[in-house]
Amino acid sequence: MTAAVESRSRRRGAIALLVAQWGRYALQVGGIVLLARLVAPDEFGLVALGAALAGLAAVLGDFGLSLAALRAPTLSPAQRDNLFWINTVVGLVAAGLVVALAAPLAALYGDERLVVVMAMLAPAFALRAASVQFRVELNRTHRLERLAVSEFAGDALGLVVAAALALAGAGYVGLALQGTVAALLTLVLAGVLSGWRPGRPRRDAEMRGLLSFGGNTFATHVLNYASANVGTIVIGQQFGNGVVGFFGRANQLVNLPIDQLATPLTRIVVPRLVDAVDADDLLSRLRRFQTVLCYPVLAYLSVFVATAEPAIVTVLGGAWRDAAPYVPVLAIGALFQTLGYVGYWGFVSRDRSGMLLISEAAGRIAMIVLAVALVPLGPLWVATALAVGHVLIWLVATTVFLPRAGLDGWALAAPGIRPVVIFGTAGLAGWGAASVWAGAADDLTRLVIGVGAWAAAALMMSAVCGRGDLRTLREFVLRR
């Protein structure tokens, strides 16, 4: 395959993956809207609590090996086989631990339904772990269209099953099974479409470098898991499933674009960064990817914050109104998480997984400690603790650790300034129109007026100070 043909293949695959990811994004939004009408906040909170308690199993099943395999310049057949078996065995152990801990955790939280929820969540962790290297194989061979198909189809079937069970009156059962069904179909399709069949484990394969990188990445992901889920866990213990439902739904909605964009972009970005010829080239590429990530995510965050209450009530129903107060606070954390993602890519591309772990540790630990300390003051204070933690993570990485990795942290942060100004201004305009000027109107009217004012301000500000960034976005889509 010539370089030109390979470049075109990469471009088609990258575009297909991003298009499919936006399809998954639309599917997830549609699922949230549909299931919000079928499943009560209390039942949603129950499953969110179960997922938070069992979520470490997902981190354990991957063990950081997907990213280790993705960034490796070469990967021998024996290494691929060993990685598959390590992921699969660890995933099975993780699923078994979830089942074993279900009854004690249900007793701790005083809800026997947690046993059922965690038992239904558990198979997903083993299935996703087994699919890791099939998905990496599709990614490394630039067959991203097939990867996109396997993941989209899994999500779609999971939603169908969840909705069918919810319509039958088994709301929390459907929610708990959704991920397992999706993981099963994704595993089957990724295995078939990759065309790769793992062989037996091999002792003669060099695994030290992969396992070392994976181990550091795993430790980072454990901290991420703990800090991301501590809010749900402490709120569930203190205030019950209903409040967890509101908090969890707000958190899910705020982080939706990060979850749906960061993963596919990481698959595209990391191989491109590893190919950088020198530090200046790496910095230039990172700044470009910073722009690509910030614009869609910050646009969503600003319009959602501006219209949180009317949007939630109009789209999800009046039963979810109490989720709205969490949105602005959680959005602050999401903003700094978005700005900091480029630093994560920088550490990975420079093979500094250990430094990444140390960089994030202070902010993650502070997040956990603050959440536990502030939960008696109320769930909104827990949301504040999460936001403060994300600010600390970004600040420490930018000022201390990225320079130690040979990257100018402030230069990486600079491309985020314009989208912050553009969408911060638009958000203020939308909030003023929806909550001040039209504050006495019904929710649908407030939503329409707020979005209209936000769009007008965003277009005006983009025309004034965002033209260069818009060209960068256009080039990324058309010339990848």
Look at residue 1 in the predicted model and tell me its pLDDT: 47
Torsion of CA 25, 28, 33, 38, to 10 degrees: 180
Report pLDDT digits (tens) over 349-382.
887 878 888 888 888 899 999 999 999 999 999 9
What pLDDT does 5 receive?
Answer: 47
Enter the pTM of the model. 0.78
Extended strands (E) in 148-207:
none
Count the neighbouring beta carbons within 10 Å of the beta carbon of residue 148. Answer: 22
What H or E segment, with its residue span, contains residue 204?
none
Q: What is the pLDDT of residues 81-120, one digit of tens each?
A: 888 898 898 889 888 988 998 898 888 888 888 899 999 9
Count of residues for the chain?
A: 480
Local confidence band at 273 (pLDDT 50, 70, 90 cut-offs): confident
201-to-77, 86, 87, 188, 448 alpha-carbon distances in Å: 10, 9, 12, 21, 58
Residue appearing with tokens 């065995």: 89
Report pLDDT digits (tens) over 139-189. Answer: 888 787 888 888 889 989 998 999 999 898 888 898 899 889 999 999 999
Rounded to an integer, what distance in angstroms lies between the CA atom of residue 171 and that of residue 108? 23
Which range in 75-79, 422-426, 442-446 is most confidently predicted, on average pLDDT?
422-426
pLDDT, average across residues 49-57: 75
Return the number of other C-beta atoms located less than 10 Å from residue 149's C-beta: 18
